[in-house]
Structure formats: structure tokens, C-alpha cells
Structure 1
Amino acid sequence: MALNNTYEARLVQQETAVGAGVQILLLALLGTAIGMGPAGWVTGVVFAVAMWAVLSRALRRTRPRSFGPANRVTLGRAILVGGVTALVADSFESSPPVTLLVGLTAVALILDGVDGKVARRTGTSTALGARFDMEVDAFLILVLSVYVSMALGPWVLLIGAMRYAFVAAARVLPWLNAPLPPSTARKTVAALQGVCLLLAGADLLPRAANTGVALLALALLVWSFGRDILWLRGTSRVVAQTTPVREETRELVAR
């Protein structure tokens, strides 16, 4: 049994290595197609190595018996996000092919609705898979906000940085780490971020319209985070108020 578990763990780790290899292959194809510069290459390779290292560490810690079909879809999205990241980095040196960037981003956003359905239908939903999916989404939004900010201004970076600011704040304020109840509104707002940034980055609309789309995305995100923070704060106060009562009850029972 131990040998079998070791074999399964090795296969799972191999899948992440294959993902990193496919990422390098995508970078090679992009480099050949557009003549990608050093910034794009270095950023893309760093993304591939970091993705492989972080995912491998998470797999070693959780020890799943298989990688799972849903995680394979998410890994495919991560590879596309790596390509988008390389193109955005390359855009600081030269004008990127907008059609190619929009195409990769659009496919990544479409697949965002696939991995969850695959996980539910195959009964392979896991905490690792949900976290993997969320991190890929968050990083794509960050990269897109960097790209759009070059045309509309640095304020757009607030969209991509908000989730990471929340994570950083949770290290100082532990009550922010409490689980949130499921919310369709939260999921909808999260999905709209990518769509709005993609629309603004595609440059199909006048600058004023692109600015309006990005502002709408930011306003929705502020509302969503603000609502969740207020809920978490209220819940933490209720817990704090009920804790002394529970302790007093325990003392009375002990007596």
C-alpha cells in the first residue's frame, strides 16, 4: 500500500511538471510568432517555475490520490495566464498583438466556468482545487489590471491589488480569515472583473467608455469586498460577545 501511495504521489507531481513544460512550449510558440523580447521570456519562465514550485508544494502537503480532471482544466487556464503574463511584460518593451492577448485571455475566462462544473460532476471537488482556481483568477485580474493601467492610469491597479491587500490585512486582523457564506453576488462580481478588464484592454471602445468600464469593475469590487468585510466584522463581534457567556456557563456547570 505504501508503495502504491508513493507511485500515485509521483504521478501527481509529474502532472505539474508536464504543466510547466507545456508553459515553456507556449512561450516558445509566442516567442516565434511575435518575436517576444527578454522581458516577456523572463517573466514567462519565472511564472512557469513559480507555478510548478507552489503547486508541487501544495500537492505534497495535501497528498491527493490523483490530480483530478478539474485541476487539469485549472492547470490549463494557468498555462494560458502565463502566456498572458508574458505578453503583458513584453508590452513594456514593444506593442503586443492585442488580438493574441485578448484571445488567450478570453479562453482563460471561458474555462473559468468549466473547472468548477467538472469538479462537481466528477465528485472531485477539493479545498486545494478551489484555492488553485481562486489564485489563478486573482493573478489573471492582477495582470490584466497592469495592462489596462498603461492606457488608463495607475488607479486601475487597485482592481488587481485589492484581493492581495485583503490577504495582507487578514494577517494583521485574524477575524478576516473567517469563512464567508456562499454568495452568488460575490461570484458574479469576481467574474465581471475579468470581462470588464478584457473589454477595456481590447481597446474596441473610445477611451471614455473604457474608463467607464474599468470604473464599473472597481466600484463593484469595492462594494463586494466592503460587504464581506462588514459581515466578517459583525460576525467577529457576535462571537466575542458570546464567548464570555459560554465561559461563565461552563464555570457554573463545573461547580
Structure 2
Amino acid sequence: MSPCVIVTVLTAFSVYNAAVGDQQLVCPESIQAPEGAEVTLRCSSELPLEGVSVEVRRDDLPRKNNIVHLYRDGRDDFDNQMTGYRNRTTLDHEDLTSGTITLGIFSVHKSDSGRFTVFIPKLDICCVINVTVEAKDPKSLDSITTVPPKSEDPVAEKEKKKKTDVWRILGPLLAVPCVGAVVAAFLLRRHLIEICKNTRGRRPNNNEPVTMETGQKERGEEAKEASIELMVEHDEEVH
């Protein structure tokens, strides 16, 4: 191998080591979330991370069982994952091409509070995030919870419905006689007024002989006419 080739290889290796040595993961120091929410651990690097292994672990737990999520050989490795995080984590593989590690943890609870370390073995860089899961406020739950209205007694409700249905049927039937009585009274009043008018305008027949029978008849008719006139005048005063 020529000296030029050796120098070129050594130079390239030195540049790569310098780039790796200067790398670091940038991430938030702490994250707070309520119980039941989703927590996203996000770290970023200047180099693309596609194809490298990514390890997220809990350093506040025993090392034999502290793997939260493991990604190596281009796929997720769930064999060594903690049981408590099975089916609760997801790593965005597309973000790795841009140098970003995005790990989502679903339905967090109090036991998820702790120190999470994101580690890249190939670059020997890591980042620590302290996660605090806060318990839900019981007062807020009481304010949201609503008490359903008490239902009435089924028997009483049924009887009430029966009474309502009966009045719906009898109402129209009772209204018909009332309307008929009003109409009959109105027609009777008009008839009495017409009789009164006709009686007032009738002239006596001078050629008819006056007898005791006709005199009594005339006096009876005059009394009847007088009573009708009084009824009409009283009705007009009322109306």
C-alpha cells in the first residue's frame, strides 16, 4: 500500500473520530405529565442515526431489568424489554434519518416517574430525562362527574301517562256539548229578538170582534210580549 493511500485512510478515520467525539444528544432535562397521558422522549443529534442502535433504559431501576425500549439491527427488539412497557412504547424510525430520537410512552402512571437514559452505543453518547407523572386531582374528577337525575317510580309514571291519555280523549268530547250549548243560546237569543220586533210592529185588527175569549187571549199575548221585551232589554244591558 502506497504512503498516499495510508495517509488518506488515516485522515478519514481521524475526521470520523473527531465528528463522533464532538457529538452529543440534546434533550429536555425533565418532563411532567398527568396520569393516563402520553409522554414523548425526544433527543436530537447533528448526525443521522439511521442504522445505529438506540437504547432507552431506566437508570433508577436494577440494571438486569431496566430496558424501556431497544432498537438494533434496523428493527425494534422487544425480547429484552421490561414487562411493564410491553405494547406501551413506539419509536419513530423515520425521525432517525434526520438525527432525532422520538420515543412515545402511552398511558403513563405513577410508576413511570423516574430517570430515563437515551443511549447510542456506537457513538457512545447519551442523554438523561427525568420524568414526573402527576396524580389526577380528585377535585377535578368530582367537578366533571355528574349525578344522573333520579328516575320516577315506574308505577306512578305509568298512572300519570294513563291520566294524560284519558284527558286527551275526553277533552274534545267534552268540548263539543259546550260549543253546542253556546250556539243554541245564541240562536235562541236571536229568535227572541225577532219575535219581539215582529210583535212591536204588528197592528191590531179593528174589524175583529172583541169577545171574552179574544180579550183574554190578547191580554195573555200582551203579558207574553212584555216578558219577552224585558228579557231582551235585560240581555242587551248585559251585553
Q: Could you state the TM-score of these two structures normalised by the residue count of structure 2?
A: 0.21
**Higher relative contact order, chain-length normalized (CA < 8 Å, sep 6+):** 2
Relative to its length, the structure with more strand (as a share) is 2
Larger radius of gyration: 2
Query: Which TM-score applies when normalising by structure 1?
Result: 0.20
